[in-house]
Chain A
Amino acid sequence: MVVIKDLHKSFENQVVLNGISMHVENAQNMVVFGRSGTGKSVLLKCVIRLMEPDAGEVTIDGKDVLSLNLNELNTLRKDIGFLFQGAALYDSMSVRENLEFPLIRNFDYSQEEIDKRISDVLEAVSLEGEIDKMPSELSGGMRKRIGLARSIITKPKLMLYDEPTTGLDPITAKEISSLILELQLAYKMTSIVVTHDLLCAKIIADRAIVLKKGHIHSEGTIEELLSDKDPFLVDFFSDEVINKNGRG
């Protein structure tokens, strides 16, 4: 379970997170909505301490993340997967090397076990034939899938997704969203998904929060948020529909 209490983060004079508190139950998919610049990605990065929050508390499975030393943090990170917005595949490594990287570095698996895991995750993302390609030879959707495969290869308990469908065409975006849901169900992972994509959220979300000016403006299921008459939510989700379907 992930518990965030009164999280604050500012950059110079700009307050990005202003007292965020939320919790995500085990095996639950939590979607974080919000307009650009409301601190969604910063929230994810603070959870895993890629950024140090100014104040607050983050607990993952009872461990106080902000008080861990580097070794303890790295141990915790082995149980966490992160899909970056641009997939963040290592350019100088082939798909196989990208997938091997976290396994070789952090675990003591035999080559047979590593090969099996690679083949399993590539099958899960339907890219078995791309194992020897370099990231530059892959399309945007394929890169996202390989990024996803790399994130889940260590069988993490918690997955963090930063805009998993951004930059993809609607069909590929839907495929990625469905894949995220399938993997979550198969691996029983807890997920926090930052997205603008309402369709993606509809497919994967158990619950969702909407950020506004560094605060949590609303929280609930997607249906609850969509039926809410709050002017900000009505405006926000109508914008999302327009973004998704053109002139709506």
Chain B
Amino acid sequence: MASRLYKFLDVTEKRLQSFFELLAGLTLFSLRFLKEVFVPPYEVEEIRKHMIELGMKTLPIVGVTGFIIGLVITMQLQPVLQRFGAEAFLPGSVGISIVRELGPVITALIFAGRVSSGIGAELGSMRVTEQIDAMEVSGVNPFKFLVVTRVFATTFILPILTVYVIFIALIGAYIAVVLVQNMTWEYYTGRVIFSVEFGDAIPGVAKTFVFGYIVGIVGAYLGYNAKNGTEGVGKASTTSVVVSSLLILVLDMILVKLTLWLWPIAK
């Protein structure tokens, strides 16, 4: 019994230690990013290349997911609202859920799965094959060239993808509405626009800048510091997805509270 307890405490101690090491490492890495992002040379061409690459890579999957989410959330809400005789509120409630929460968070989670793991694997592989060292030896700052450009790209491409997903999801929702109700596109969009306010759209999209940053910085941190050959690359890739997804959800909770305080829902 005592040995089991000792083993449990030992494992817990090691896990806690590695968790706090990760947190401290990420914080220092973020500080370095914030320091270097403002220092020239600005790798504009690299940032543009990564934004296009990451955007194009994620566009189909987030589009399909957005469409299905819009469709499904409408199909789920319709009978509930019907029960209360509130079917007229369907476009508005679906619109608000998609714009405020579902669109940004679902896009960010899919983006994390697709991009954070990719960045972790790419930089991890560059680390273990000494490509990052080679860059450093040639007098180039690899942090600026590899990390700053990717994190900058993820921070600014995710909000664009989110706006795209919101539109696709609203189209998916309209198709679901048409399947159960006789509603024109004009009436549907009118109801959505009437219900969704500026204070719903801005915080929803604004928080995706933070999510985009998280996706980039976590993948870059774990990849840039990968060790132990190909095993380390795999670990960097999978851990990137887990950590960035978890951070997105935790930060979402905090940001929702913050945005509700800054932009309260009109009564």
A→B interface (CB under 8 Å): 45, 48, 50, 70, 74-75, 77-78, 80, 82, 84-86, 88-92, 101-102, 105-106, 154
Contact = CB atoms under 8 A, between A and B. Distances in A.
Contact of A77 (B126, B129, B138): B138
B179 interface: no
A141 B41 CA distance: 35
Given A91-B125, A91-B126, A77 B131 contact: no
A102 B140 contact: yes
Nearest to B140: A105
Chain B: interface secondary structure? helix
A105 B138 contact: yes
Interface residues of B, number: 15
Given A91-B125, A91-B126, A82 B134 contact: yes
Interface of B: 122, 125-126, 129-131, 133-141
Report the 9 A-B pairs with minimum CB-CB distance, sorted nearest first. Answer: A88-B134, A102-B138, A88-B130, A74-B139, A82-B137, A77-B139, A84-B130, A105-B140, A78-B139
B100 to A, nearest CB: 38
A155 to B, nearest CB: 13
Contacts of B133: 45, 50, 82, 84, 88
A89 B131 contact: yes
8 contacts: A50-B133, A74-B140, A74-B141, A88-B131, A88-B133, A102-B138, A105-B140, A106-B139
A53 to B, nearest CB: 16
B140 A106 contact: yes
Contacts of B129: 86, 88, 91
A33 B218 CA distance: 40
A102 B134 CA distance: 10
Contacts of B126: 90-91
B137 A91 contact: no
Contacts of B140: 74, 101-102, 105-106
Contacts of B137: 48, 50, 77, 80, 82
Nearest to B132: A88
B134 A84 contact: yes
A77 B133 CA distance: 12
Contacts of A89: 131
Which of A50, A70, A89, A154 counts the most chain B CB atoms within 10 A?
A: A50
A149 B66 CA distance: 49
Contacts of B134: 82, 84, 88, 90
Contacts of A85: 130
Contacts of A80: 137
B131 A90 contact: yes
A91 B134 CA distance: 12
Contacts of B135: 90
B236 to A, nearest CB: 16
B138 A86 contact: no
A80 B136 CA distance: 11
Contacts of A74: 139-141
A92 B122 CA distance: 10
A134 B65 CA distance: 34
A128 B141 CA distance: 29
Contacts of A106: 138-140
Nearest to A147: B134
B131 A102 contact: no
Nearest to B131: A88
A86 B133 CA distance: 12
Contacts of A88: 129-131, 133-134
A46 B24 CA distance: 27
